[in-house]
Amino acid sequence: MRFSILVNGTRRTVDEDADTPLLWVLRDDLRLVGTKYGCGIGVCGACTVHLGGVPVRSCVIPVSAVGAAPVVTIEGIGESEWGRKVKQAWLDLDVMQCGYCQAGQVMTATALLASHPHPTDQDIDQAMQGNICRCCTYTRIRAAIKQAAGLPTVDTREERS
Amino acid sequence: MNAEPTAPESDPTASRGPRLTRRAFLATGLAAGGGLLLTLRFVERAAADEATIAAYIKIAPDGIVTITAKNPEIGQGMKTTLPMLIADELDVEWRNVRVEQAMLDPVYGAQFAGGSLGTPLNWIPMQRVGAAARQMLIGAAARRWRVPRAECTAKAGVVRHASSGRTLTYGELASAAAALPAPDLDSVTLKTPDEYTIIGKFTGGVDSARVLDGDPLFGIDVTLPQLSYALYAKSPVFGARLVRANIEQIKALPGVRDAFILRAREPDAAVKMGLVDGVAILADKWWDAQKALKMLRAEWSPASAPDQNTQAFEREAARLAGSAPQAVIRRDGNVEAALARAAKVVQASYAYPFLAHATLEPQNCTARVKPDGGLEIWAPTQNPGPGAKLVARTLGIDAARISVHMTRVGGGFGRRLSNDYMVEAAAIAQRAGRPVKLLWTRPQDMQHDAYRPGGFHYFKAGLDAAGKPMAFRDHFVTFGQNGQVADSADLPSEHFPAGYVANLEYGRSLIQLDAPTGPMRNPGGNALAFAFESFLDELAHAGGLDPLKLRLALYGPPRVLSSAATRFGMKIPPFDTGRARGVLQLVADRSGWAQRQQLPAGTGLGLAFYYSHFGYVAEVVKASVDREGVPQVHKIWAAIDIGRQIINPAGAYNQAQGAILDGLGQALHPAITLQDGQVVQSNFDTYALLRMHEAPAVEVHFLRSDNDPTGLGEPALPPVLPALCNALFAATGRRIRALPIDPRALRRAGA
């Protein structure tokens, strides 16, 4: 079947089975490989993209469900103000180790900041817990989100006893 | 101890690396398009024919310097760190440096990411490369100006003649420098630390911006013309043979280009992580191959391994513990006699599960047959040399005709010291006669790993009247294959407290295991630290001693225990009890250890220390439990001594924090279990990893001792597991003796 989807502001047409996940349309049809395959069941977050401005797991979204909602991937997120700030904070704080999860982390973090421009540590915990970082760069991810928001990067949860 | 990657198929020592003891020479040439091409040639003092080129520098006329990173990048930061060493001694500005990933090539010597060895093996050789190049550039300038070299200095890519004020850039000098004889690397003078301009500076990863732009850097991102996507279906029971499969039905499915059976060609291929029996499915799109995989009906023999069950292993361990160990690892003094006269005897058993590496990038590899019948391979591997040899041996191809591109690697943790995915991709490409990208599904990845072996420790110790251990016994029940200890499943005879308790016995018994095991980040240590450092905490409490003071008493006064051992051609640094004491005291100071009794009821501090990969690491965890018994980790402190110089603080703190949180996750969540020979877990829903909300603040302190810098990928991981369990004991009075932590064991102690 042919599907017309809007990806990073450009209309793209693909010939795919209706059940093909958006992830594989992006990676193998459109060669947008920044979005990663991690689990295939929507629990690791490596494949996170924005669909209609909302972070979703593209590995479990059939291409037929995309419809008219705009898709934004890591390749396009830098076009938005929050996306640009988040990417810059990620570089300034040298967040990544292997880097494989980081596209998904950036996509989720950008959506968080778009809805919560001054996130608390609890906001960050809640928004980011769907994204696994196997290298466990969580300390830097937390700090980078705050830096992108213009907040002090100190961890306010430290002495909660 | 237990630092090196030990997988038989993946031993990096199989390829010769640059040796610190080698005499090194420089060879030079003109780079294409002009400029200096500098190659470092290491030559064995005794065997000049074993020359290897370890690194090279290209200086373009515009002053842009391209430095080759010889080792794989798995997130440990070596693609940034090693070029930093060269660039600092070369004395160029980092912004003018470009980094290129090397291919697998004998000229570079050993190319691997393992054993936290990138730094100790390359710290001096990489600096010498840069220093020698700087010396040649100065020589070229002196010759041009007809002045003594001693009157010229180099800084930030420019050579200056002080008295005349004349300057020439490296770009202007590169071609002339390339014509000069290269200095003997042993004779080059290295900078003193106060002269460093790049070493010690916070330097971001060289690939990071491209990763965030979505550029194709990882193995999974490789594309080629006429590429087919492949899946390879293997038996869920390790080592089973394929009897039959519905190949013709699979071939008829939409999008499927081909399907065929491949056979194991070596005995024990399953435990050696080689090519095993399987069905290859090729499609134009990976999703089509994945759908076809679900339609595959394959019959395996045996279809089940009834003795390969986690619960059966536990029963067998308990049975073995009732008898004398099958083998003695170490015996000092007389444990039995010492126990008989001990003021107090403490006994406890500890257990930990098998673990999967679970790299977030599933195993994958791309391969194509070259016109000459050789193979070109793109592999996210930690260990490309043994991978190429495995392919060569399995497929009967001359290793010299196999080219290996090292892609960026989406997580290593030791998984990619094995190269099973490489030989699979190569065999499929060879059989199909077309370029193939093999990409495993997550369930395949989780169910076909070289697992961190589980294990059981049966401890018994005797304390003297002062509470100090006078006898120590461990009957270690571990896993083996046909009477041989499984990979990464042994207990080193020198493991602490051996050598520090007069009467000590380490014994070993084996349970037969059919599944493959292999090194996982800090092999041995990631499990042994939990058992030994938790039991040591038990001994401290039983003897009424402060766990910190017990450790300081055991290590005794500061002294260097001499070592004549070498590994990878490098002299092993001796163990220094003063460095152990140093990090223990530092972490105690920073964590408020002395004031721990003032913490609110239900909150506790736990301490542990572990020496591994030449690194000395002490950690303190502050924890409580919630009403459900779930551990709540408030904060973690770490004190780390890896020598006098942190090469890249950006990477170093990140590695330390990441390793600590990695270990925390291992304590809290995952376990691989076997049922009738099959791995039960298949994805992150049943094999949980640490997530953001569980990651506490981690405060890392580096203690700068006057020793050459050593690696940091692994040593910070082990102490957090026992430190957490010791903190939970302090908080609740309940001792965790099995991992992962079961909240039910802590529940009623909830605050």
Instruction: Please state the length of chain B.
Output: 751
B604 against B3, higher pLDDT: B604
pTM of the entire predicted model: 0.94
Does the pLDDT value for residue B356 go beyond 80?
yes
Rounded CA-CA distance B638/B583 in Å is: 8
Q: Nearest-CA distance from B387 to chain A in Å?
A: 21
Contact A98 B287 (CB under 8 A): no
| pLDDT, tens only, B191-214 | 999 999 999 999 999 999 999 999
Tokens found for residue B299: 């019959």
Does the pLDDT value for residue B134 go beyond 60?
yes
State phi, psi for A143 to the nearest 5 degrees. -65, -40
Range list for CATH 3.30.365.10 in chain B: 12-205, 219-304+363-439, 324-355+451-749
Q: What is the structure's pLDDT at B34?
A: 45
Does the pLDDT value for residue B52 go beyond 50?
no
Residues with Cβ within 8 Å of B309's Cβ and at least 6 positions away in sequence, in order, are B674, B675, B676
What percent of chain B has a predicted confidence (pLDDT) above 90?
Answer: 85
Q: Are B149 and B134 in contact (CB under 8 A)?
A: no
ipTM: 0.98
| pLDDT, tens only, B82-124 | 999 999 999 999 999 999 999 998 877 889 999 999 999 999 9
Q: Are B412 and B74 in contact (CB under 8 A)?
A: yes
Contact A90 B208 (CB under 8 A): yes
Q: Are B351 and B671 in contact (CB under 8 A)?
A: no
Contact B75 A96 (CB under 8 A): yes
How many angstroms from the chain centroid is the CA of residue B407? 17
B11 against B681, higher pLDDT: B681
Q: Residue B256: helix, strand or coil by DSSP?
A: strand
The CATH topology of domain B324-355+451-749 is Aldehyde Oxidoreductase; domain 4 (3.30.365)
Of B77, B358, B692, the CB nearest to A134: B358
CATH of domain B219-304+363-439: 3.30.365.10
Q: Nearest-CA distance from B113 to chain A in Å?
A: 13
- B706 burial level (CB within 10 Å; 0-12, 13-18, 19+): exposed
Rounded CA-CA distance B417/B8 in Å is: 10
Query: Which residues of B are less than 8 Å from A97 in CB distance?
Result: 75-77, 654-655, 658
Q: Nearest-CA distance from A53 to chain B in Å?
A: 19
Does the pLDDT value for residue A93 go beyond 60?
yes
Q: What is the structure's pLDDT at B16?
A: 32
| pLDDT, tens only, B226-272 | 999 999 999 999 999 999 999 999 999 999 999 999 999 988 999 99
Nearest to B720 by CA among B587, B551, B541: B587
The confidence band for B7, taking pLDDT boundaries of 50, 70 and 90, is: very low
B56: left (phi over 0), alpha (psi -120 to 50) or beta: beta
Q: Nearest-CA distance from A111 to chain B in Å?
A: 16
Best CATH choice for the domain A2-76 from the list 3.30.413.10, 3.30.365.10, 3.10.20.30, 3.40.50.2300? 3.10.20.30
Does the pLDDT value for residue B391 go beyond 80?
yes
| pLDDT, tens only, B262-305 | 999 988 999 999 999 999 999 999 999 999 999 999 999 999 99
Q: Residues B630-636: what's their mean pLDDT?
A: 97
Q: Nearest-CA distance from B482 to chain A in Å?
A: 34
As separate numbers, helices (DSSP H) first and strands (DSSP E) second, chain B gives 16, 33
Minimum Cα–Cα distance from B229: chain A residue? A28
Does the pLDDT value for residue B550 go beyond 50?
yes
Contact B411 A134 (CB under 8 A): yes
- For all residues of chain B together, what is the average pLDDT? 91
Of A34, A43, A137, the CB nearest to B685: A43
Q: Residues B17-40: what's their mean pLDDT?
A: 43
Q: Residues B659-668: what's their mean pLDDT?
A: 98
The confidence band for A154, taking pLDDT boundaries of 50, 70 and 90, is: confident
- What does R_g of chain A's alpha carbons equal in angstroms? 16
Q: DSSP state, B327?
A: E
Q: Residues B332-359: what's their mean pLDDT?
A: 98
Contact A44 B441 (CB under 8 A): no
The confidence band for B569, taking pLDDT boundaries of 50, 70 and 90, is: confident
Query: Alpha helix locations (H) across B146-168?
Result: none
Does the pLDDT value for residue B359 go beyond 70?
yes
Q: What is the structure's pLDDT at A158?
A: 57
The confidence band for B38, taking pLDDT boundaries of 50, 70 and 90, is: low
The confidence band for B36, taking pLDDT boundaries of 50, 70 and 90, is: low
Q: What is the structure's pLDDT at B563?
A: 72
Does the pLDDT value for residue B54 go beyond 50?
no
| pLDDT, tens only, A120-152 | 999 999 999 999 999 999 999 999 999 999 999
Angle, helix B118-145 to helix B170-178, in steps of 10 degrees: 90
Q: Which of B37-51, B443-457, B665-679 has the least mean pLDDT?
A: B37-51
Contact B285 A97 (CB under 8 A): no
Residue A67: how many other CB atoms lie within 10 Å: 12
Domain range annotation of chain A? 2-76, 77-148
Which of A39, A105, A153 best tests the B interface by mutation, with the highest count of B CBs <10 A?
Answer: A39
What percent of chain A has a predicted confidence (pLDDT) above 90?
Answer: 95
Q: What is the structure's pLDDT at B248?
A: 98
For B311, half-sphere exposure in the C-beta direction (CA atoms, 13 angstrom radius) is 4
CATH of domain A77-148: 1.10.150.120
The CATH topology of domain B12-205 is Aldehyde Oxidoreductase; domain 4 (3.30.365)
Of A102, A157, A161, the CB nearest to B212: A102
State phi, psi for B346 to the nearest 5 degrees. -120, 135
Does the pLDDT value for residue B666 go beyond 80?
yes
CA distances to B115, B478, B604 from B598, in Å: 40, 41, 10
Does the pLDDT value for residue B14 go beyond 70?
no
Contact B408 A91 (CB under 8 A): no
Nearest to B667 by CA among B506, B523, B530, B491: B530
Tokens found for residue B586: 């530092």
Q: Nearest-CA distance from B26 to chain A in Å?
A: 33
Rounded CA-CA distance B725/B625 in Å is: 11
Q: Are B721 and B668 in contact (CB under 8 A)?
A: no
Q: What is the structure's pLDDT at B13?
A: 28
Which of A77, A136, A140 best tests the B interface by mutation, with the highest count of B CBs <10 A?
Answer: A136
Q: What is the structure's pLDDT at B301?
A: 97
Q: Which of A5-19, A22-36, B5-19 has the least mean pLDDT?
A: B5-19
Contact B286 A135 (CB under 8 A): no
Of A28, A131, A133, the CB nearest to B286: A28
